Amino acid sequence: MMSFYDVPLADLDTAIAADPAWALPHTMKAGFLLSLTEPGLVTEAAAHLATARTLVDGAPSRERGHLEAVQAVLDGRWHAACRAWDQIITEHPRDALALQWAHLWDFYRGDAVQLRQRPARALPEWDGNDPLHPYVMGLYAFGLEECNLYPQAEDAGRAALAADPRGPWAVHAVAHVMEMQGRFDEGAAWLRLHQPQWAEGNGFAGHLWWHKALFRLEGLDLPGVLRLIDSHLSGDALQITLQRVDAAAMLWRLHLLGQDVSALATSLLDGWAVDEASVGYYAFNDVHLVMTLLAAGRLSQAEAWVSRCAARAMQPDDARRANHAMAREVGLPLMRGLLALSRGEAELAADTIYGVRGLAQRFGGSHAQRDVIDLSLMAAAAQGGHPALGRAVLNERRMAKPLTPHTRHWMDALALPTAAR
């Protein structure tokens, strides 16, 4: 579960068969299924939690704590789940399961501070010779990166990989550092160096291929991006929504650059669940579905999806309370801004998207993933929606990292004065 090599379900089934009276494997299976943010797996996860509840009497308090945390996730109370895992980590800092799950839901909640602090509170209690220590270091490296502590993050990631080269979180953390610092050639080389470890049989592979495409995009190697989409971000390579989200994010970036990706977006939609259970399940995923619909030219369907998400977010009796807040504060206004952009209402799009920038972290994902918000804002500004606002956002980008070909594209699109270059 920490290495992402193979899917843990068969091992958990073996544990269930070996000790049918043990609650924890059922809890672990439910937690893993829920971690995929896949609405279609919720019923199965709920069944395993119900079974765990029949077996939990007499279980150690730590196992009961995990059950309560995963139940909170099922109920949509993600903040409560992370508090429950934090209590476990405080008392048992070497509980790797609590660290792993809290990290995932800190990521889904966009809690950068806890992405760094939770592993930091636990790591001094770990023996460096423990085989799971490098994986916890990988979590810490990513938390450092999301808190903009780039040199420390890179050092931690490299140290984790020196101890165990099969650590995708660590590879991922350093790739994020290089993305945020505009080191796109070095980032591509970094992923290529570690590719023998992550490219086959690892659940992180699809996301790391996305990062490889992101580095090529930064260099404006658009044919290279399209080749990676064809080989690793489309078709049978996409099995779950988390993978489709990466493909959607890359297609939208190409769309903003003026590329016609309608056929690719239409193909991506063919495998995307858009049933009633999916509506408003997770705002981050909803935004990426809307991007795909818009890139495919399906404006009316995108508008209908946003309307259904809005109705779901306003239901006071629905259990998914964490996502309701994410949708109301960030997801819905962002999707409305994207709709305005696609309708050619550039000024409304720029105003609406700019309005959520300061809150964007609240609906999850990483800095690199949420960069699509700034790119969409600059596109709206370039189409006539407050050009000065777009240039201000571009100036932030120019101060954060070197001028890359991708940044220069937006300088041209926003007609930045020559003297400012």
Q: Residues 278-332: pLDDT tens digits? A: 888 899 999 999 999 999 999 999 999 999 999 988 877 555 578 888 999 999 9
Say whether pLDDT at 131 is over 90: yes
Angle made by CA atoms 47, 49, 53, in degrees to the nearest 5: 115
Averaged over 146-164, what is the pLDDT? 97
Best CA proximity match to 381, nearest among 370, 389, 392, 373: 389
Domains of the chain by start residue, with CATH: 1-110 (1.25.40), 231-421 (no CATH)
Element (H, E) at 165: none
- pLDDT one-digit tens code per residue, 49-85: 999 999 999 999 999 999 999 999 999 999 999 999 9
Could you give the CA distance from residue 282 to residue 76 in angstroms, rounded to a whole number? 10
pTM greater than the 0.75 cutoff: yes
Could you give the CA distance from residue 347 to residue 337 in angstroms, rounded to a whole number? 10
Instruction: State both tokens at 235.
Output: 């078709």
Residue scoring higher pLDDT (142 or 317) = 142
Could you give the CA distance from residue 176 to residue 211 in angstroms, rounded to a whole number? 8
Averaged over 219-236, what is the pLDDT? 96
DSSP class of residue 41 equals G
- pLDDT one-digit tens code per residue, 166-216: 999 999 999 999 999 999 999 999 999 999 999 988 999 999 999 999 999
Look at residue 417 in the predicted model and tell me its pLDDT.
53
Q: Is residue 252 a contact partner of residue 289, using CB atoms and an 8 Å limit?
A: no
Best CA proximity match to 265, nearest among 290, 236, 239: 290
Q: pLDDT band at residue 419, thresholds of 50, 70 and 90?
A: very low
Look at residue 228 in the predicted model and tell me its pLDDT.
98
Q: What is the mean pLDDT of the chain?
A: 94
DSSP class of residue 202 equals B
The residues with which 202 forms a beta bridge, in sequence order, are 5
Could you give the CA distance from residue 105 to residue 73 in angstroms, rounded to a whole number? 9
Q: Residue 47: helix, strand or coil by DSSP? A: helix
Say which amino acid occupies 213: A
Instruction: State both tokens at 31.
Output: 């937690």
Q: Residue 267: helix, strand or coil by DSSP? A: helix
Could you give the CA distance from residue 392 to residue 340 in angstroms, rounded to a whole number? 21
Averaged over 153-178, what is the pLDDT? 96
Could you give the CA distance from residue 391 to residue 132 in angstroms, rounded to a whole number? 46
Q: Which of 243-247, 376-380, 415-419 has the lowest mean pLDDT?
A: 415-419
Element (H, E) at 94: none
Say whether pLDDT at 253 is over 70: yes
| Residue 40, C-beta contacts closer than 8 angstroms, at least 6 positions apart | 273, 277, 278
Q: Is residue 139 a contact partner of residue 169, using CB atoms and an 8 Å limit?
A: yes
